[in-house]
Amino acid sequence: MKMSTKKNKLLISAAMLSALILTLTIVSPAIASIKQGMDTHANCASLQFPKGQELAILTNPDTGIATIGYLDENGQPKESQLNYKSGDGFVGCSAQATRILSDVKTYQDKYNSDMCMEITQIVEGKRVMPERDGKRPTIEAAKTYQKQVCDAAANK
């Protein structure tokens, strides 16, 4: 049976679209993650800001990225992203970056540990489930949160 040129073009177009979607959903995030890792490592090595400056530090516990806001020596606002979950002991980082990352990691580890203990007491019925905006989460939601925060606490 002979396929028409129109059907061949349609099949080829569908295959190319599938390949593009696969690339965007699987390969692109992996490449972005590698690039982010390279960027945060470079930022870690080069971070320098004037002494005595108050920093703005925002962390994302899911990604391990700490965003550091500061003013450079000319008073211009700067922002740098560092990875406090890098697992390499902050090798190659500037002294300032190492201090910040160590503090952020210590704080996040303590927070995870404290939250794990607190939510475990709630799940075990030793503490009352707190309300938020007049609502209480379900025990299933509390158990899901408990698993996340306790896993994070265990993976210091």
**Which residue range forms the structural domain that includes residue 97?**
5-154
CA dist 53 → 24, 66, 70, 116, 143 (Å): 41, 17, 7, 33, 41
Q: Which DSSP string do the residues of 57-109 spell out, in sequence order?
A: EEEETTTTEEEEEEE-TTS-EEEEEEETT-SSTTTT--HHHHHHHHHHHHHHH
DSSP assignment letter at 54? P
Dihedral sign for Cα 6, 11, 16, 18, please. Answer: positive
| Cβ atoms of 117 and 77 closer than 8 Å | no
If we measure between CA atoms, which residue out of 110, 4, 25, 12 comes closest to residue 61?
110
Q: Write out the H or E segment, with its range, that includes residue 9.
A: helix 5-22
Distance CA 95, CA 103 (A): 12
Count of the separate structural domains present in the chain: 1
Segment 121-125 mean pLDDT: 93
Distance CA 56, CA 138 (A): 35
- pLDDT averaged over every residue in the chain: 82
Dump pLDDT digits (tens) for 66-99. 999 999 888 899 999 999 887 778 888 999 999 9
Dump pLDDT digits (tens) for 14-69. 666 666 665 556 555 555 555 555 667 788 888 888 888 889 999 998 888 999 99
| Cβ atoms of 119 and 145 closer than 8 Å | yes
Segment 103-112 mean pLDDT: 92
Q: What confidence tier does 9 reach under pLDDT thresholds 50, 70, 90?
A: low
